[in-house]
Structure 1
């Protein structure tokens, strides 16, 4: 049997493919409206992670 490294193994079993989408959301933090850049990533197993960064309010959709 041939030994392989993790990089080779991940390709064989489907890789470590991660799909990410960036969106902007208007949020309330301490009673103040802030715009957040939300990065939502889904890995090959369906696990979802979200990261938030403060963004310019001009990027957020207008609520009306």
Structure 2
């Protein structure tokens, strides 16, 4: 049996695949409405990360 390192093992056991979803959220920052593009990613171990980027307000759902 051949010994392998962690990099080789992660490529075999599920790889390093990440699943991401993009959404838009209206947020309040310093009292102002801001539309944010939100990217939510889940790695192969189930760890969830979110990143935010300012976007055009037309992309966000209306509040009503």
Question: Please, what is the CA RMSD of the aligned residues?
Answer: 1.4
1: CA distance between counterparts of 2:23 and 2:61?
Answer: 10
1:11 is paired with a residue whose SS is helix
Once the two structures are overlaid, the 10-residue window that deviates more, 51-60 or 8-17, is 8-17
2:56 is matched with 56
Q: How does the TM-score come out when normalised to structure 1? A: 0.87
Runs of 4+ more than 6 Å apart: none
Aligned residues: 63
1:40 aligns with 2:35: no
Q: How does the TM-score come out when normalised to structure 2? A: 0.87
2: CA distance between counterparts of 1:11 and 1:49?
Answer: 21
Unaligned residue ranges in structure 2 (runs of 5+): none
Unaligned residue ranges in structure 1 (runs of 5+): none
2: CA distance between counterparts of 1:51 and 1:10?
Answer: 24
